Amino acid sequence: MSQSPARRTVLRGAALAGVACFGAAACGAGEESGTRPGSDAAVELGPASDVPVGGAKLYGKQRMLVSQPAKGEFKCFSTVCTHMGAILNKIEKDQAVCPLHGSHFEVATGKVAEGPATRPLEEVPVKVKDGKLIAG
């Protein structure tokens, strides 16, 4: 039995929707990247000693970075780029770098060092408890 044109159209539409769904799933990470990390609850990041004095450490899973501009002074920022929401994935010297369009942010302050981003990273409260960093 042959399929009617309308049925073929519906099936083709479903197939395309499947493709679109895959596309959406692939883009889902991008959409997710716009979420605010640590906005609801405190998150334990690990030993404070992991963050070098004068440097920073990325916490990819938590989408945060922690810097230690001076001994015992910690700053925490979201790694969601303020340009278009990509996740910063690299630290070069004292700057975090966005892989999408190359914005650079100062790890000590969250300020933009190089665009296209124009807004600083979102700062997240951080404290040290029992030698561990607690963000949020």
Q: Counting contacts by CB under 6 A, is residue 132 touching ligand FES?
A: no
Residues 109 to 128 in contact with ligand FES, rule: CB under 6 A: 116-117
Cis previous bond, 69, omega within 30: no
Instruction: Point out which span in 16-24, 68-76, 80-88, 120-128 binds ligand FES (CB under 6 A).
Output: 80-88
**Least separation, in Å, of the C-beta of 136 and ligand FES?**
23
The size of the interface with ligand FES (CB under 6 A), counted in residues, is: 11
Amino acid found at 10: V
**Single-letter amino acid code for the residue at 86:** A
Nearest to ligand FES of 42, 84 (CB atom): 84
Helices and strands (H and E) in the chain: how many: 1, 11
Which residue type does 94 have? Answer: D
